[in-house]
Amino acid sequence: MITYLYWITIIAIALALLYVVGHKLEELKIAAISALSVIIIGFVAYHFHFQQVFVKRYGGVMTIKVPDDEIHLAATWKDDNLWIENYNPATNTCHFREYSRGNLLQGQVTIKNCNPLLRRELISVPVQP
């Protein structure tokens, strides 16, 4: 919901600039440049800052695709960054991937010989009477 409200606000500001500057002041070129600037700045601000903040704190909308050869296991937040855990059965490795703001600084931790999907049998000790 907050994501939609953000975009409605950005578009409303751009349209207001078009109306006030373009129609009232009769400066259509300046109005178009201003409106386009607001939309570009809004997109960059959303992508590099607000997206994960909205999702974590206010219930925003975000989509992440799991690679085809991996199985999703878990997701967790560390500060405002999302960490996703996936398992690759072909290489028997678990991958923790960080999705930071704007996806600029993405960390990854690989655990080798990780097999979380197979149930390990408990060692049973016979009870003596």
- Tell me the pLDDT tens digit for each residue of 57-96: 887 777 888 889 998 999 988 887 888 999 988 888 999 8
* Residue spans of alpha helices (H) in the chain: 2-17, 28-45, 51-58
d(CA 44, CA 48) in angstroms, rounded, equals 6
Q: For the chain, which residues make up each domain, given as ranges?
A: 2-58, 71-112
Q: Are strands 93-99 and 81-88 parallel, antiparallel or unpaired?
A: antiparallel
The tokens describing 51, both together, are 């997206």
CA distances from 125 to 101, 119, 121 (A): 51, 18, 12
Task: Tell me, yes or no, if the pTM score tops 0.85.
Answer: no
